[in-house]
Amino acid sequence: MSRAVANRKNGIEPHLALVAVQIIFGTWPIVGKVALRALPSTGLVAIRVAGAAAAFFLLLRLRGRLVIPRRSDLARLALYSLLGVVLNQFLYVKGLALSTAVNAALLSTTIPVFTLLVSTFLGYEKFTTRAAVGTLVAAAGVVYLIDPLRADFSGDKTIGNFLLVANTVAYGAYIAVSQDVFRRYGALAAMTWVFLFGCLACVPVGGYYLSQVPPQPLGWTIWLAVAYIILVPTVGAYYLNAWALERVAPSTVAVYIYLQPLVAFAVAPLVLGASERWGMRNWVAAAFIFAGVAIVTLRSRSRVMEEVAEHPDAL
């Protein structure tokens, strides 16, 4: 079966998975704030990565034997772990602590740009007019939603903003380069190795900072928050993202990131009250964001249909 036909059969499922990923990623910082009341940021990263590695390993063992990748692929998986787990986690959490949520939402819109640039540079994708237009339309919606005039890029926030930008570069590159290995080994096996490699860096560093925290009993709220962070926005979201990356182009995966600020704005009124209610700005931004996602998605699907039309015998 050709790659075109395989993509065609995937239908809407990868896109539903990507929407679920953004809903999860858009809500986890709220729970993360609860956990950070009692845990240092690096310590939370260590717990999150170690817990996710254990969960992925257990799931993989329940489904069959542990697949040992080739030596060259182990090196690739170590690189993907560095980009998508180690740098992504440490840079984002520390950057968020030093900067503001508004700046973090604004700067996250650059992830699809870096994904597309890296994919184009490596020859994985062509930089088409439709892809560029879709990216710009979705980005315009996010920028309009969060209002850059409210963003604080001065004073002590500068280092935090720099770390957030570095995070978007690392995560964009991770999305761009990891598709091939995920397709060959499957999302579950690949993510297991990515997080196992991530433990090698995150656990020693985070464990050191955890040891500096005076012992104190953690309430059930903190434990529930930690469990949620490990199981939902880490195991669940990373797996769904990798599963979708097996089936659609990296630029399509990346453009869905524009939904995260929209989700955050939707959840904020439930947590913060009437001051965060939706207004006309939210609805206009939503229209732009979904339009941008649709443009990039239609680009991928139209290309698949063209390939099927050119090679009908592949059916």
Question: What confidence tier does 311 reach under pLDDT thresholds 50, 70, 90?
Answer: very low
> For 42-61, how does the pLDDT look when each residue is reduced to its tens digit (9 = 90+)?
999 999 999 999 999 998 88
b/e map 91-128, b = 16+ CB within 10 Å: bbbbbbebbbeebbbbbbbbbbbbbbbbbbeeebbeee
Res. 211: pLDDT tops 60: yes
| Mean pLDDT value of segment 54-83 | 89
What is the residue type of 192? Answer: T
Question: What confidence tier does 273 reach under pLDDT thresholds 50, 70, 90?
Answer: low
Res. 315: pLDDT tops 50: no
Do residues 286 and 141 lie in contact, with contact meaning Cβ atoms separated by under 8 Å?
A: yes
Q: Both tokens of residue 62?
A: 């329940």
| Mean pLDDT value of segment 65-80 | 88
> For 241-254, how does the pLDDT look when each residue is reduced to its tens digit (9 = 90+)?
889 888 888 878 87
The pLDDT score that the predictor gives to residue 48 is: 92
The pLDDT score that the predictor gives to residue 146 is: 65
Three-state DSSP string of 207-235: HHHHHCCCCCCCCHHHHHHHHHHHHHHHH
- Highest-confidence segment of 76-85, 121-130, 249-258, 277-286: 76-85
| Mean pLDDT value of segment 132-145 | 79
Do residues 135 and 266 lie in contact, with contact meaning Cβ atoms separated by under 8 Å?
A: no
* Global model pTM greater than 0.85: no
Closest CA to 87 of 196, 165, 181: 165
Is pLDDT larger for residue 2 or for residue 85?
85
The pLDDT score that the predictor gives to residue 26 is: 78
Give dist(CA 154, CA 53) in Å, integer: 38
Res. 6: pLDDT tops 60: no
Closest CA to 239 of 172, 194, 197, 201: 194
Res. 36: pLDDT tops 90: no
Give dist(CA 56, CA 294) in Å, integer: 32
Do residues 80 and 181 lie in contact, with contact meaning Cβ atoms separated by under 8 Å?
A: yes
Say which residues have a Cβ less than 8 Å from residue 220's Cβ, sequence separation at least 6: none
DSSP assignment of 2-24 = -HHHHHHHHTTHHHHHHHHHHHH
Is pLDDT larger for residue 6 or for residue 235?
235
The pLDDT score that the predictor gives to residue 79 is: 95
b/e map 132-147, b = 16+ CB within 10 Å: eebbebbbbbbbebbe
Question: What confidence tier does 274 reach under pLDDT thresholds 50, 70, 90?
Answer: low
Closest CA to 153 of 185, 106, 199: 106
Give dist(CA 26, CA 155) in Å, integer: 27
| Mean pLDDT value of segment 78-90 | 94
Compute the residue count for the chain.
315
Res. 96: pLDDT tops 90: no
Res. 28: pLDDT tops 50: yes
The pLDDT score that the predictor gives to residue 55 is: 93
The pLDDT score that the predictor gives to residue 154 is: 62
Kindly report the backbone phi and psi dihedral angles of residue 286, in degrees, each rounded to the nearest multiple of 5, phi listed first: -60, -40
Give dist(CA 299, CA 101) in Å, integer: 32
| Mean pLDDT value of segment 219-245 | 90
